[in-house]
Structures are given as structure tokens and as C-alpha cells.
């Protein structure tokens, strides 16, 4: 499945998932394990974008729709650093807030962009985290659970993704993930950092 395809996603966060993890392993076989350090930019003003730095690239996804409890996210082309001032204004600012302005040179590196956002912008929180991800393929759906560590604490997330919403809904139900509310990374991080309190989740039945 190509990275640039819009996919329907059901993601949850919990301290542990119990039988969900056992069912994923039983259905998907040995997991593909990946680790990454990432930086998320979480905005109080925007709920339609997922903005992060992964593998030294700026990675933005756009929420296109919510259908039967599934969120459909579309990944935009990843951008390498340095990013020009015009690129920041046209590509990054709309994803974080309508009035966001960057000082000249803010996109010269990933670190410079993170510092700019952490020091100068109200309503945007910079969240550094580490992920250890366990990936599976279940009925042609991308599936994973992961340990996410931030601020010295670890929480677990589990997710099912597919371009086919009916297939995704079926796998979510089969493994029991529908017992937990669908919560995207930005929504979860807004709750954890206090931008949203209580956290906003999409709890519609699937």
C-alpha cells in the first residue's frame, strides 16, 4: 500500500490493550518492529491536520472526512529541510493556524522550526516522543500497536488503516478495537498537553 494513499483509520490510546494485541499477533504473524524519534506540532486552532517531523522530513496529513466512526487521513508529499519562507507560509502555516507567521529562516532545519514554534507561537505545542511500533498486515489492512514515550511516561496506541472502510471496520470489530474510542494522534496529544481538557475523542459506533 503506497504511502501517498488516503486511508481510513481507527486509532486508540490506552495503558494496555490485552486481547487486542493477542488477536493482532494471531492474525498478522510476527510483527515488523520499527523505532523512531518524532516531533509533533499540536495546534489549539486546527483539528484537520496531523503535523510532525519523522526521519528528518516534515510530514503532514489532512483529515478529509469521518465516516461510520473512521477518520480518513490524506498524507501530503513529505518535505525535506531546509524549507523556504514562502513554503512555510503556504504549506505549514495553514496546517497549524490561520494567523501563524514565521520569522525569516525558521525552516532552515527541523530543529530551528521546532525551536521557533516552541518559543514564539501561542496555541502550538511541540511534543517530542519516541515510538516503538509493532506492525502487521491483517486482511490487507495495515495494523499496529506501539509504545509511545513522551515526558518520561509511556502510553500504548493501536491502529487499523485501510483504503477500504468496510474492510477496516471489519478488522476493527474482529480484534475488539471498537471497545476503545477512535482518537487521532493530534487529539490525544492535545489532551495530554492540556490544549484540550477533557480530551476530545470520536466515539461514534462503527
Q: Is residue 69 part of a domain?
A: yes
Q: Is residue 128 part of a domain?
A: yes
What's the CATH number where 161 sits?
Answer: 2.40.320.10
User: From CA 106, how far away is CA 116, in angstroms rounded?
Assistant: 6
Q: Give residues with Cβ within 8 angstroms of 146, minimum separation 6.
A: 131, 132, 133, 134, 156, 157, 158
Q: pLDDT (tens digit, 9 = 90+) per residue, 46-82?
A: 999 999 999 999 999 999 999 999 999 999 999 999 9
On the question of pLDDT at 206 being above 70, the answer is: no
Q: pLDDT (tens digit, 9 = 90+) per residue, 12-39?
A: 999 999 999 999 999 999 999 999 999 9
Query: Domains in the chain: how many in total?
Result: 1
Give me the chain's average pLDDT, please: 92
Enclosing H/E stretch for 188: helix 185-193
Q: Is residue 176 part of a domain?
A: yes
Mean pLDDT on 131-137: 98
Q: Is residue 13 part of a domain?
A: yes
Q: Is residue 103 part of a domain?
A: no
SS3 154: strand
Q: Is residue 109 part of a domain?
A: no
User: From CA 70, how far away is CA 139, in angstroms rounded?
Assistant: 17
Q: Is the dihedral of CA 106, 112, 121, 44 positive or negative?
A: positive
Task: Name the band, by pLDDT with cuts 50, 70 and 90, for residue 2.
Answer: very low
Q: Is residue 73 part of a domain?
A: yes
User: From CA 194, how far away is CA 199, in angstroms rounded?
Assistant: 8
Burial of 18 (0-12, 13-18, 19+ CB in 10 A): exposed
The string of DSSP letters for 94-143 reads HHH-TT----TTTTSSHHHHHHHHHHH-TTEEEEEEEEEEEEEEETTEEE
pLDDT of residue 1: 41
Q: Model pTM? A: 0.91
Task: Name the band, by pLDDT with cuts 50, 70 and 90, for residue 123.
Answer: confident
Q: Which residue has the cell 499496529?
A: 144
Closest by CA to 100, choosing from 78, 73, 86, 121, is: 121
**Residue 155 is part of which domain span?**
7-77+124-193
Amino acid at each position: 500500500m503506497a504511502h501517498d494513499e488516503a486511508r481510513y483509520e481507527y486509532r486508540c490510546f490506552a495503558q494496555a490493550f490485552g486481547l487486542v494485541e493477542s488477536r493482532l499477533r494471531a492474525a498478522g504473524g510476527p510483527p515488523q518492529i520499527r523505532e523512531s524519534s518524532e516531533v509533533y506540532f499540536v495546534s489549539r486552532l486546527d483539528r484537520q491536520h496531523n503535523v510532525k517531523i519523522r526521519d528528518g522530513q516534515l510530514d503532514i496529513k489532512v483529515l478529509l472526512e469521518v465516516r461510520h466512526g473512521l477518520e480518513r487521513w490524506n498524507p501530503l508529499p513529505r518535505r525535506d529541510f531546509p524549507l523556504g519562507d514562502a513554503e512555510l507560509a503556504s504549506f505549514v502555516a495553514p496546517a497549524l493556524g490561520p494567523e501563524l507567521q514565521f520569522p525569516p529562516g525558521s525552516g532552515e532545519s527541523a530543529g530551528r522550526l521546532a525551536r521557533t514554534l516552541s518559543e514564539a507561537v501561542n496555541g502550538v505545542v511541540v511534543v517530542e516522543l519516541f515510538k516503538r511500533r509493532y506492525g502487521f498486515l491483517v486482511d490487507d489492512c495495515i495494523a499496529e500497536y506501539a509504545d509511545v514515550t513522551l515526558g518520561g511516561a509511556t502510553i500504548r496506541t493501536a491502529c487499523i488503516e485501510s483504503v477500504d472502510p468496510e474492510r477496516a471496520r471489519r478488522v476493527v470489530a474482529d480484534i475488539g478495537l471498537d471497545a476503545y474510542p477512535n482518537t487521532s494522534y493530534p487529539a490525544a496529544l492535545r489532551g495530554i498537553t492540556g490544549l484540550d481538557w477533557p480530551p476530545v475523542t470520536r466515539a461514534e459506533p462503527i
